Structure 1
Amino acid sequence: MNMEKKLNSDTKERLFSLDTLRGFDMLWIIGGGSLLSALAKATGWGWVEVLAEQMHHVPWEGFRFEDLIFPLFMFISGVAIPFALISKLEKGVGKPELLKKVFKRMVLLVIFGLIYNGALKNGFSDLRYLSVLSQIGIGYFFASVIVLYTKSIKARIFWLIGIMAGITILQLFTPVPGFGAGVITPEGSINAWIDQTFLPGRLIYDTYDPEGILSIVSATVITLFGSFAGFILRDKATSQQRKAGVLIGIGIPLIILALLLSPVYPIIKNIWTVTFNMLTAGISFILMALFYYVIDVLKWRNWTFFFRVIGLNSITIYMGVKIIDFWHASEFLLGFVANPAGDYGDVIFTLGKITLEWLFLYYLYKNKIFLRV
């Protein structure tokens, strides 16, 4: 971990759109979804209720916007791989040194995940060992290894297809004791059997963990997809407009293929089915293309500052909202306005919470303090 007082030289290659998209994604985690839910409750407006419903995970099979947030973050971390690693390779940094760097990143994120899950608060008894952060770190590590130690795009595509094929075979065709093959339920999936058999500690659900062992392997696909987007965006021989078009041209077929396969291979976030990977990767490619075209091609950047402040310290605020009670601070400061406001009170408190979180990040931004993991 490196607390920097200035942005390093790599930021010369940094995409405004990448930081903005990361901040947009993180906003929904730190309060954007809660704000929509509070608005829906207060107003009763149908269109707000429809949006608010999208901010809740589907119980099992299906897809809502909330199900995109995590894989989109992993996709974004993959986009950064060519900028963070390949640029250093080109400057003469050795692969062993870069491998050490990404391994250290993985270990730190696993440790942060343990802290997030309560290791310091409750100890290791009945601790959930895997987490969102550990999945990001491990997925980034393996995707980086593939990128660093393959010499061509064909080899990387081979790895991508190989991982997806392996997950498909395990989830659809591998017999699970007591259930048989292809039983994709919380109790009968191969994910559940692997987690119960090999994963120590507490599972977040009774029979499986959504960030379990097989889910992590499967989710590596999302990060690897992101790295392909990163290579496209970094290609100096391709025009900016064409880059955006290529990203959309990859995203749309992935979405169509996922939807076509979904009747026989359901889209399920909780066990990261391959169809879920393809759907979310497809949407992520399109979002990346749109943000890139608007921000880095057309250079419409005035609106991006709010999101970039969040995106530049995304891990900081993810950990911060777990440790710092921004909601209590909002109640303390705004109770005199919110308490008499009835159902709109939660809207005011949530807006206050988001504002305090952003001001905290703005303070770090103004002092050029960025948590690099």
Structure 2
Amino acid sequence: MFGSSHCSKILSALPPNRLLALDVFRGLTITAMVLVNNPGTWAYVYPPMLHATWHGWTPTDLIFPFFIFIMGISIAIVMNRAIANATDKSVLIKNALIRALKLFGLGLFLALFYFNFVDVSYSWIEAKLQTVRVMGVLQRLAIVFFFTVLIVLYFGRVGRAVWIGCLLLGYWGIMMLVPYSDDYGNVYQGLLQQGNSLTAWLDNYLLGANHVYYAKAVPFAFDPEGILSTLPAIAGALAGVFTGDLLSSDEVENSKSVTKASASHSLTHLLIKQSKIMLAWGLCLIVIGELFGLVFPINKTLWTSSFVIMTTGWALVTLAILTWLIDIKGWKNWSAPFVVFGANALLFFIFSGIVARVLLMIPVGKINLQAWIYVELYQPVFGSLNGSLAYAISFLLLSYLVMHLLYKRKVFFKV
């Protein structure tokens, strides 16, 4: 499936001067997300493939902020051209709002797409529609996308940097200084506990306990993609915008239009310069994020400011390494499958979510098809942990067949 000729064919069809690192980064990120979201059973998962229980982080915690960072890069690349060609910003705002609403709607669709055929007494209206989870991955992406576009439209580099500072420091200040109370009159302030924080309090009273992920948390039900915790996520996207500006600067565009004899040397020189800048900034942000975490703990569920800074640092380091490996050293063949996944990242996410839910819906005796496949086929051969991982890898490989077919036919899903 992933032979040299197969990979070469994919890469040879790309534009000659295309910078692959960003495409591969997007593909690696969506691949990682689908991998960790689809184990054979949640009872047996290797710890690095799980989110941190609370404070701290695992490699899995990097995936979602990487997506937000990549979205920021894409916004910069697209918006820079759109702003240059547009005379009316209201058109750009309208287009951004429509896209955000579509993303939000797709998130709600995935939240509602499930029916328990195993339980004859199951009521979809009661179990899903009346208790639909309002927020989620796509919903957060939608909100972050729209507000990032607004900031990019109305603020320059300095303004965007100020926004990043205000969002991160402001979120920290709000979380630690603003008091809140429960229904019994107990007043809290500065707590960062599961079910007891300002963001949990806000989710509980604005969204309601029936419409969040952690519905049984006490004293406040909350969502890991909650309302208040979405604010610092915008800062992560704006960091991506700065990176996108670096990658699409006039200097880069000019290097692609010079004579063929000097184009390769010029572009390589620029890529080395860019990768060094990204690596330096990335390492600095990782250190700053970890140090900030000593006073405002790194926490993916709360999406703390230290978490945003740290994950942005790792995103920059990852992109710098990929740029060096792929676009500077020319080690490209291995990256072809991730180019395919990255080209249809949104469709891949939705497709994997639908297929995973369908496997859970189909009854096989007293269990569902997904559980039966794991218990009967994977666990006996590979064992519990490795069987769960093998199932997830098989899910990826089968998904690749579909994504590659769509890629060959140039079918790309956009909103």
- The answer for the alignment partner of 1:290 in structure 2 is 321
CA contact (8 A) 1:107 1:137 kept: yes
Pairing of 1:173-212 with structure 2 (within 5 A):
173-177=177-181, 178-200=186-208, 201-205=210-214, 206=217, 207-212=221-226
Q: For the residues of structure 1 that align with 2:106 and 2:73, how far apart are their CA atoms?
A: 22
- The answer for the alignment partner of 2:412 in structure 1 is 370
Matched letter for residue 173 of structure 1: L
1:140 paired with 2:131, answer no
Residues 4-60 of structure 1: CA deviation (Å, up to 9, x unaligned): xxxxxxx8996421121111111122226767999xx7xxxxxxx9xx321111111
For residue 148 of structure 1, report the CA deviation from its aligned partner: 1.3
SS of structure 2 residue aligned to 1:371: coil
Matched letter for residue 367 of structure 1: R
Q: For the residues of structure 1 that align with 2:113 and 2:134, how far apart are their CA atoms?
A: 9
Q: For the residues of structure 2 that align with 1:69 and 1:339, how far apart are their CA atoms?
A: 27
Matched letter for residue 34 of structure 2: I
Matched letter for residue 102 of structure 2: L
For residue 236 of structure 1, report the CA deviation from its aligned partner: 3.2
Change (3 A) 1:288 1:103: same
1:105 paired with 2:99, answer yes
Residues 284-332 of structure 1: CA deviation (Å, up to 9, x unaligned): 1111111223223333321111111111111112111221248689999
- Structure 2: 5+ residue runs without aligned partners? 1-14, 116-123, 253-269, 361-368
- The answer for the alignment partner of 2:154 in structure 1 is 149
TM-score by length of 1: 0.85
SS of structure 2 residue aligned to 1:324: helix
Pairing of 1:35-114 with structure 2 (within 5 A):
52-92=46-86, 94-114=88-108
CA contact (8 A) 1:14 1:83 kept: no
Residues 246-302 of structure 1: CA deviation (Å, up to 9, x unaligned): 112221121111111222211111111101111111111111111223223333321
SS of structure 2 residue aligned to 1:368: coil
Q: For the residues of structure 1 that align with 2:281 and 2:198, how far apart are their CA atoms?
A: 30
1:220 paired with 2:234, answer yes
Matched letter for residue 249 of structure 1: A
Residues 101-145 of structure 1: CA deviation (Å, up to 9, x unaligned): 211111011101101111686353011111110101111111111
- The answer for the alignment partner of 1:46 in structure 2 is none
TM-score by length of 2: 0.77
Matched letter for residue 370 of structure 1: F
For residue 92 of structure 1, report the CA deviation from its aligned partner: 3.9
Match of 1:20 among 24, 34, 40: 24
Q: For the residues of structure 2 that align with 1:85 and 1:55, how far apart are their CA atoms?
A: 35
Which is higher, the Rg of structure 1 or of structure 2?
Answer: 2
Residues 209-247 of structure 1: CA deviation (Å, up to 9, x unaligned): 111101111211111111111111111326221111111
Change (3 A) 1:139 1:336: closer
CA contact (8 A) 1:327 1:349 kept: no
Matched letter for residue 403 of structure 2: L
Q: For the residues of structure 2 that align with 1:58 and 1:360, how far apart are their CA atoms?
A: 32
Q: For the residues of structure 1 that align with 2:227 and 2:147, how far apart are their CA atoms?
A: 14
Identity of aligned residues (%): 27
CA contact (8 A) 1:26 1:314 kept: yes
CA contact (8 A) 2:163 2:235 kept: no
Q: For the residues of structure 1 that align with 2:187 and 2:318, how far apart are their CA atoms?
A: 39
SS of structure 1 residue aligned to 2:413: strand
Q: For the residues of structure 2 that align with 1:186 and 1:97, how far apart are their CA atoms?
A: 42
CA RMSD of aligned residues (A): 2.9
